[in-house]
Each structure stands twice: as C-alpha cells, then as structure tokens.
Structure 1
Amino acid sequence: MTMENLTVSNSSVFTSAGVLTTSTVLGVCCALGVPGNVAVLVMLVQHLKEGSFTPKLMMSLAVSDLLSLIFLPLWIYALLNGWSFGQGLCKFFSYVVYWSLYSSVFCLTLMSVQRYLQVLYSQRWAKLGRRGENGLICGIWILSGILGSYALIYRTAGQIKKKMQCYPAYRNHQEKIAIILMETVVLFFLPLTCLVCFYLRLHKRISQSSSFNSHRLTKLAVRIVVTFFIFSTPCMINNIVQIAVPNNLDDSNDVTGALFFMNSCMNPFLYAFSARTLRCRDKAHSSHSHDTNPNE
C-alpha cells in the first residue's frame, strides 16, 4: 500500500506533474512531521517516570512516525533522480518504512481501545498492570516487524525504462492481490473500524454522565477519525484499482502513497499536543471513581 504505492517508478519524463506533486507532499510531511515528532519525544520524556501508559503509547507512536518520515528525503531523491543506493538498501529502507507504518497504525488503534477501557472501565484496565502494558507496546513492534517483513522479499532494485528503481517485484498477479488486500484490511479497515466504534461508544457513555464534560474529547476523537479517513482513503481506493487494473498507474500510486504519510505528520498535533486534555480527563475520572468507591 503506502510504500507499495510509493514505488520509485516514473514515466520517461522524470519531472512529471505526478512526481513533483508526490515530492512536494513528501517534503511537507518531512518538514512538519520530523520536528513535530521530535518535539513530542522531548515533551514526553519527562512524563515517563509517572508510570502512565498514555505517555508510553504516545512515545511509541512518535518513534514509529519519526522512523517512517526521517528517510523521506532519500525517497524524494529517488523519485527525482532514480534509485542509486543498491538492492540491499532498497530492501532495508522499504522494510523500515513498512515496519514503522504498521506500528504507527497499531498504536493509533490501541490508543482508542485504551482510552475506552481506561476511562470507562479503569479497574479492569488496572488489572493489566505495568508489565502487561509494556507487553502490549512490545507486542505492537514485534507484530509490525513480522507483518512488514515481506518487504525484504519482494522489494528489489532494478532498471526499468532506463532508470534504476526500487520497486515491488511480484512473482504473479495473485501474490500482488494478496499483499494489497492484506495491507488494505490491516492498515485501513481494521483501524478505522476500531477508531470509530470505540470513540463513538466512549462519547455515548461519557455524554450520559453528568460527571464528565465530553466536548473536548469528542472534538479530539472526531479529528482523529476524520484525519485518518481523509489521508488513508485515497490510498485504499488506489489499492482497489490496482487489483482491478493489472497495469500500474505510476502517478496515482506515488501521490496516494505520499498522502498516507500525512497521518504520521499530523499525529503529534492530534495526540501529544492534546495530552493535557487526556490527562485532565484521567484525573477527573480517577477523582470521581475515588469519591464514589472510597473502599477501592
């Protein structure tokens, strides 16, 4: 999907409108997302000693996004000039980007689940313990690394149209369909469903209680879902087109793949810079639980 769409493949005119558009989008993502995620990491370091799961999960999200964005200058150069870094680095950098993108999406998904359970079922979440929380984060990175490992197999560097490119070399059309379907489900439909369902249920439960003011949380949840939907949907539509149309549409692949990186660019502004709202929400709920359950 993302890196699948962001194939370093261009027409005979390398500075086509599609390539320039893709390069511009990637440049904006890198310029905004890298310093934004670095700022998030610096901001969250001071909260790690508190032992709260939210800062740890946000830090994992920021690391994932930073890894997916920090190599974008390399892909921009390759889009404009062709791939000149060899097959080994083609596989390695592709794998790092896939790994970090899977991890980023899984962190977003877990954050919606954690927010729902921690606010409405705090005692159940507390039973998980610090070891269980750390295990969830480690599990995200391990699972992401496994799911992204196919980049080491099918990504390769070769000459196409007299230009060296880092591209996906599928053995057959069935393999291509299987990979695209897997990416579409895991990186789009599954996380989007979780985001919508858990935030809707969270808003419904909180709005029924006079102890919470859900306005800020509702606005944050809406921004999260809308942002993910806006920047992910074009890539998913393009994936479906790729399944139906055997021939690659280079410009649409590159542009829609680049748009997916906007999620990693926007995440620090949506989550970490809204951390104060979420921490206040936790404190308010903890106080409410203590007052209504003094023996617990």
Structure 2
Amino acid sequence: MDKDYMRIACLVIYCLIFIVGILGNGLVIYVTGFRMKRTVNSVWFLNLALADFLFLTFLIFTIISLSNNYEWRFGSVMCKLNTIVISVNMFASIFLLSTISLDRCLSTWVVVWAQNKRTVCKAQLICAVIWMLAVACSIPFGTFRYIKTAKDSAYCVHSSSMTVKYIMTTFRFVVGFLIPFLVIFVCYVAIGVRARRLQRTRKQRPRRVIFSIIFAFFICWLPFHVFQFLELHAMNNPDLRPAVNSGILLTASLAFMNSCLNPILYVFMCEEFQRKLKQSICFVLESALAEDHLSFMSSRSLSSHLSRISRKSDSAAPLERKDTGISFTECKVVIAEERDTGSTE
C-alpha cells in the first residue's frame, strides 16, 4: 500500500512538472526565439529551454507508464528512445549550464575580450557541439534498455549486467554531475568575488541568485546520483530494495524538477523581481538576459564605447541607421556610474 501511495504521489509531481515546465520553457522559447534580438545570452537560454522542453514532451510516456503500474505499452523502440531523450536532456542541460557559467565568468573578469570575441555565431557553434556531445553520451543508455515481459506485462528495464550498470552509473555521475558542478561552483565564486570588488552586487544580480543556482543544481541532481549507486548495492541486499526503490522515485522527481527551475532561476529571477513582474513579459526577459559584461565596465571605458558608437551613427545616413547593440541597460549603467561619482565627491 505504501508503494502505491508513493507511486501516486510521484505521478502527481510528474504531472505538475509537465504542466509548469511546458508553460515556462515554451514561453522562454517563444520570447528568446521569436521576440528578442539574437544575442549570445539569448542563444544560451534558447537552447537550454529547448533541452528542457524536449524532455518534458517525452515525460508524458513516463507518466502513462507510471499510471499503469510501470507497465510499458509503447514498444522497444520507444523504450530506447525515451531513455535517450531523458539522458540527452540531462547532459545537454548540464553542459549548457556549465557553458553559461563560464561565459558569465569570462564576461565579468575579461571585459574587453568578451566585447571583441563573444559572437552569436560562436555561441551557436558551441551549442551545436554541446548537442552532439549530449547525444553521444546518451546513446549507450538507450542501447542497454530492453523490454522485459513478466506475467503478460511488458516493462522497460535496464540491462541486468552488474558491470554494465556500474560503468554507466559512474560515467553519468562523473560526466553528468561532478565535473559540471565543479565548473559551475568555481565560476560563480569567481563572479561573486569580482562583483564584490567592483561593488556591483546591489545593481546587478544579487548574491542570493548566484547561491540559488548552485544550490538548485546540487539539490536536484546529487540525490539522484546517490540513489543510483545505492541501487547497485541493493541488488545484492534485498532488505535495502524497498527503501531504495522509493528513494529513486523521489530523487527522479527532483531531477525532473530542474527542468522547471531553469526558466525561473536563469530568466525570470532578476534583481528587482517584484517591480519587473508588473511590467510586460518581454521587458522582463530582455532585462534578465542583458549581456553580463556591460554591468562590469568602468564608466570611462563605457563612455568611450558610447562616444564611438555615437560618432559612427552621426556619420551614417538617417534612413540607413544600423542597430548599434547598445540598449537601455547600458544607459542605466552610465547614469548609475555618474550618480556614484557625484556622491563620492
């Protein structure tokens, strides 16, 4: 009876994840893909939302299987494909989060380099490489999935080989959690140090957002990997199996929940969240996805950059005016810098 309660609870959680995740990531895809100007940041967040959205569309098969007491009714091909898609989402999302962290770190520490070298074309190329790596890392997980028949019911299960399970679990933990987590943690510590030195923590993303990103990544994925290792030990210990099976269901829910948290943590949650909620959705997303390196530019370098843009625009014909890429975010930085200078005099 307890097992049925746990299954029903997880089923409800999966349904909530599906609804909230589809709406949140769908909105991000619409705005970043069709409503916003294409920038490096919008490319990162668009691909992150696509990875989560792809996973959530296939989550419906897991929900149906769970509602039928784990019975799989979609054949061997879908059994393998569903596993591959879930793994692709995990690897692609984590690789993208690591890339976003590295990009933000470089944009705050080497501002001039970020201005000159960060381009949309390079970001799209990096995303293509990430997707190929995610697919390559995920194919083995689908390869070792098969349909097991028991009591006239079919189940989508892993290979029964202990060696294969141990290798795959270790690979998933090291490549899909340990290395990316270390990259994310080091990058955001570096960002926090840089922001504190320049005293920009109040004006840009607050420290609580940085800690929330690290905390969410850690909480969502670490329990999942821990119980995957515990499952290996439970195969030779029948007393552990009930607790481990229940833990796997709950930790899988946490891991799946990361697909709902990404739009909140990386897009909607910005410095003045309460005030921005009263504005239009497009303005909220454009503000939250503003290029990070602009907030860490000195007033002198930013003023000279604006003056160069102004001279170029003055020499151009009025009807052939080109988009300079300078947004309201940069103007706010200049005004803020002038206010800071005035207050210290």
Q: Normalised by the shorter chain, which TM-score bucket? A: 0.7 to 0.9
Aligned to 1:40: 28
Q: Residue 207 of structure 1 contacts residue 213 of structure 1 at CA under 8 Å; is this kept in 2?
A: no
**Paired AA for residue 144 in structure 1:** A
SS at match of 1:157: strand
**Counterpart selection for 1:134 from 103, 124, 133:** 124
In structure 2, stretches of 5+ residues that fail to align are 270-284, 310-345
CA contact (8 A) 1:37 1:63 kept: yes
Aligned-residue Cα RMSD (Å) equals 2.5
Q: Secondary structure at the match of 2:235?
A: coil
**Relative to structure 2, which stretch is displaced further, 128-137 or 74-83?**
128-137
Indicate which of 139, 155, 169 corresponds to 1:165: 155
- With 265-274 and 119-128 compared, the bigger mean Cα shift is at 119-128
Q: 1:185-206: per-residue Cα shift (whole Å, max 9, x none)?
A: 1222122212211101111011
Relative distance call for 1:210 and 1:234 in structure 2 (3 A) is closer
Q: Does 1:60 align with 2:71?
A: no
Matched, 1:177 2:188: no
CA distance in 2, matches of 1:80, 1:144: 29
Looking at structure 2, the residues matched to 165 and 138 of structure 1 have their Cα atoms a distance apart, in angstroms, of 34
**Counterparts of 1:95 and 1:217, CA distance in 2:** 37
Q: 4+ runs of 1 displaced by more than 4 Å?
A: 292-296
TM-score (norm: length of structure 1): 0.86
Deviation, 1:33, is 0.6
Contact map agreement 1:112 1:199 (CA 8 A) in 2: yes
Q: 1:198 aligns with which of 161, 183, 187?
A: 187
Q: What is the deviation of 1:110? A: 0.8
Q: Sequence identity of aligned pairs in percent? A: 22
By how many angstroms is 1:114 displaced? Answer: 0.7
Give the Cα–Cα distance (whole angstroms) in 2 for the partners of residues 286 and 257 of structure 1: 42
SS in structure 2 at match of 1:16: helix
Letter in 1 for 2:296: H
1:217 touches 1:277 (CA, 8 Å); kept in 2?
A: no
Q: Which moved more, 1:281-290 or 1:213-222?
A: 281-290
**Alignment partner of 1:112: what SS?**
helix
How many pairs does the alignment contain? 282
CA contact (8 A) 2:267 2:289 kept: no
1:158–1:164 Cα contact (<8 Å) kept: yes
Q: Cα offset for 1:14? A: 10
Distance 2:107 2:27 in 1: 26
> 1:269 Cα deviation (Å)?
0.9
Structure 1: distance between partners of 2:200 and 2:217: 30
- 1:147 and 2:142 correspond: no
Matches within 5 A, 1:175-254: 175-210=164-199, 213=202, 216-247=205-236, 249-254=244-249
TM-score for both structures, normalised by structure 2:
0.74
Q: Whose radius of gyration is greater, 1 or 2?
A: 2
* In structure 2, C-alpha distance between the alignment counterparts of 1:212 and 1:79, rounded to whole Å: 45
Selected match of 1:73 from 55, 60, 68: 60
Where does the alignment leave 5 or more consecutive residues of structure 1 unmatched? 1-12
1:119 matched to 2:114? The reply is no
Matches of 1:206 and 1:118, distance apart in 2: 12
Equivalent position amino acid for 2:125 in 1:
G
Task: Specify the code of the residue in structure 2 equivalent to 1:36.
Answer: G
Quickly say closer, same or farther: Cα 1:58–1:113, change in 2 above 3 A. same
